[in-house]
Structure 1
């Protein structure tokens, strides 16, 4: 039985690796769920950590984002699973000694939970005529729409997403979006739609204009997705350049 489970796990990983090679963009995400009462303290410590990585010129990089439900995301591009085995903080931890562990102990007191997983940017389903950059100057506001589906509906949801993109193209929509798919470490299947804007008002204005452009018949196309998903979760937030990092 143990051998069968191992074989199945390896088969799933191989299938996922093949899908990633087609998508060409994979990201490791570390998520911190922060206690609302500890928000200010958490940000203070997070900035201390970034200052330390700058001082030690740690060879790692990440983009940061925060959502309206006090979740912080640290997003690192990776080329393969082998990168997950590397620890870029060994030298920093050795130099800092006990201060390194103390820093993380202080962070832990601010959290209700934390963990890491992988997401994959699906460029074929994304609608980004000007390029699918994650960081866009002057557009740090984000709306994230998670659409969950059961395994049996995977193909139908994907076909529906293609139809939505074709509608946006045919209408010449300027309301762009990126599509991310769950990867290794996620128990549920989902597509996440990421929409960028200058702020909440800018996003709402663009969304309203897009509704008028697509017209009432848009619901016929949208139903090709909606009819096959189990639930939708919507969040808003912002990218945080001040909590992001790249080595010199």
Structure 2
């Protein structure tokens, strides 16, 4: 039974790896669910950690995003699953000694839960005619839309997402977005739509203009997604360049 189970898990990972190769870019996400009462302390430790990475020229990189429910996401590009086995902070921990462990003990006091999972950028479903990029200069405000679905509706929902992209393209919409889907390590399935703006006012202005451009017929197309979604969530947030990191 143990051998069968192990073979099944390996097969799932290989299958997922093949699918990812078709879907473009993978990202390893570390998520901290920060307690509101510990927000200021968390920010303090996070900035100290970033400074320590700069000081020791840590050879890794991540883009940091926050959400209004006090989620902090550290998003690192991945080439393959073998990267998950690398002891990323071994050299830095050795150089810092006890201070390294003490810093993470302070982190642990700021949240009740955290963890890692993989998301995949789906370039075929994303709508960025000028080229896909996670960041755009001067547009660090984010609108996030989480579209959850069950396995039986996966195909129909994907078709609906493609129909929405085709509608945006045919109308020449300026409301660009990126689509990420859940990968290995996620217990449920969802697409995350990420839209970039200068601020909340800019986001609302672009959304209003987009609604007028698409017209009332947009509802029929959007229903091709809504009819197969098990749950919808909307969240706002921002890219935190001060907590993002890349080596020299």
1:187 alignment partner in structure 2:
187
Report Cα offsets for 1:182-202 as digits up to 9, x if no partner.
000001111110000000110
Report Cα offsets for 1:36-63 as digits up to 9, x if no partner.
0110110000010011111100100000
1:94 alignment partner in structure 2:
94
Rounded to whole Å, the distance in 1 between the matches of 2:92 and 2:189 is 37
Q: TM-score, normalised by structure 1?
A: 0.98
2:59 alignment partner in structure 1:
59
Rounded to whole Å, the distance in 1 between the matches of 2:3 and 2:87 is 30
| 1:133 and 2:96 are equivalent in the alignment | no
- Unpaired runs of 5+ residues, structure 2, are none
1:5 alignment partner in structure 2:
5
Correspondence list, 1:42-57, <5 A? 42-57=42-57
Rounded to whole Å, the distance in 1 between the matches of 2:8 and 2:152 is 18
Give the deviation of 1:88 after TM superposition. Answer: 2.6
Give the deviation of 1:136 after TM superposition. Answer: 1.2
1:108 alignment partner in structure 2:
108
SS in 2 for 1:129: coil
Rounded to whole Å, the distance in 2 between the matches of 1:76 and 1:66 is 15
2:25 alignment partner in structure 1:
25
Give the deviation of 1:152 after TM superposition. Answer: 0.5
Give the deviation of 1:144 after TM superposition. Answer: 0.6
Give the deviation of 1:150 after TM superposition. Answer: 0.3
Correspondence list, 1:1-248, <5 A? 1-248=1-248
Give the deviation of 1:216 after TM superposition. Answer: 0.4
When the two chains are superposed, the root-mean-square deviation of aligned CA atoms in Å is: 0.8
Give the deviation of 1:7 after TM superposition. Answer: 2.1
SS in 1 for 2:242: helix
Which shows bigger deviation, 81-90 or 109-118?
81-90
Give the deviation of 1:2 after TM superposition. Answer: 2.1
- Unpaired runs of 5+ residues, structure 1, are none
Report Cα offsets for 1:54-100 as digits up to 9, x if no partner.
11001000000100000000000011011111123111101111110
Task: Give the ranges of 4+ consecutive aligned residues of structure 1 lying more than 6 Å apart after TM superposition.
Answer: none
